[in-house]
Structure 1
Amino acid sequence: MELKQVEKLSKALSDVNRLKILQFMQKNQGKVECTHACKLLDLAQPSISHHIKKLVEAQLINQHKIGRNYHYSLNHEVWDNYILTLKNL
């Protein structure tokens, strides 16, 4: 993994609300729906969408549309590469 991508991932992880979303996902088999994230963080839906967008852009989570709702899952490949790159710095 290139250092520019490591920087992008690190910036995405630098917000406590994004970390809470990821922590919640980890406890729920790596998945979450946007409505569950709203309840978890007690934030307005636009704020949740902003945080999730940052995680999707960093490729830390994948986005799937089912009907009218979006579902998100952890991108384990990117996570593993990120951790490995950090260990080898």
Structure 2
Amino acid sequence: MAIKPDERIKQIEKMAKALGDKNRLVILQTIAEKGCVNCTEFTEVINLAQPSVSHHIKILVDSGLINSDKEGRFVKLCINRENIEEFNAFLNDINKF
């Protein structure tokens, strides 16, 4: 089932807002480089307290840019390739004009 244009714009807006923070960009880039990673790894990578890291990760998950899966006591984070491709397709559509 295709996404309605208004829903697509809302999803793109959420992703764009999530990308508007340096720390979230670092988190996203780290996940992309390493593949799926454990949530606790980011306190060392971006030098933020765990509550701040959790806040940024929640925004990325809510935007659809990353997925989180609980594995025992840990949360595994992975890039949501489908939504990243949708975001890229949107930018490519704009570039056609």
Q: What is the distance in 1 between the residues matched to 2:41 and 2:77?
A: 11
Higher helix share: 2
Deviating 4+ runs (over 4 angstroms): none
What does 1:46-61 correspond to in 2, within 5 Å?
46-61=51-66
Q: Are residue 18 (structure 1) and residue 40 (structure 2) matched?
A: no
TM superposition shift of 1:32? 1.6
After superposition, the CA RMSD in angstroms is 1.0
Q: What is the distance in 2 between the residues matched to 1:86 and 1:42?
A: 31
Partner of 2:86: 81
Residue in structure 1 matching 2:33, options 22, 27, 30: 27
TM superposition shift of 1:19? 0.2
Partner of 1:37: 42
Q: What is the distance in 2 between the residues matched to 1:19 and 1:44?
A: 17
Unaligned runs of 5+ in 1: none
Q: What is the distance in 1 between the residues matched to 2:40 and 2:14?
A: 26
TM superposition shift of 1:21? 0.4
Q: What is the distance in 2 between the residues matched to 1:85 and 1:63?
A: 24
Select the structure of larger CA radius of gyration: 2
Instruction: Give deviations 1:30-49, integer Å, cap 9, x for gaps.
Output: x1211111110110000000
Instruction: Give deviations 1:4-34, integer Å, cap 9, x for gaps.
Output: 21111100000000000011111102x1211
TM-score (norm 2): 0.86
Unaligned runs of 5+ in 2: none
Partner of 1:3: 9
